[in-house]
Structure 1
């Protein structure tokens, strides 16, 4: 298998949004948790993805900070 195009020095973050028996919905970010893509994978693929990318699971505090930033941009609300 080919090597990752993402340098290992960059942190990779995962935030699980929803988990069911069939799918895991999650956000994936590289270096900046505020810039992410939304992904959906079966649980087995999700576990492999996380292991392959050596991800950091976001804490509740990190997730709240991201949500606050998103609200500022979306609603022009200053906190």
Structure 2
């Protein structure tokens, strides 16, 4: 009989939900990352403050701290950018 490897990573748990606030706009919208299962795999979303609170409650999210340097990152490199960065870039 083959031995079972108990050091394997735990199964992907879709019940785990994560939110990381990435910005707040003066008009009351909250920019945030939302992840299911793993915080490293996320989508960027934006909701009004009240809807954001309802979203977090409905999904029973775990709030994540801001990313290191998130607030002061002015010029991301080719592989370190967010979709929200495109609003400040002029494409030709």
Query: Taking structure 1 as the reference length, what is the TM-score of the superposition?
Result: 0.63
Q: Determine the structure 2 residue equivalent to 1:55.
A: 61
The higher radius of gyration belongs to 2
Give the aligned CA root-mean-square deviation in angstroms: 2.3
Query: 1:41 and 1:51 mapped to 2: Cα distance?
Result: 14
TM-score by length of 2: 0.54
Q: Which runs of 5+ in 1 are unaligned?
A: 1-7, 65-70
Q: How many residues are treated as equivalent by the alignment? A: 58
| 4+ runs deviating over 6 angstroms | none
The structure with the greater share of residues assigned to helix is 1
- Structure 2 unaligned regions, length at least 5: 1-12, 69-75, 81-92
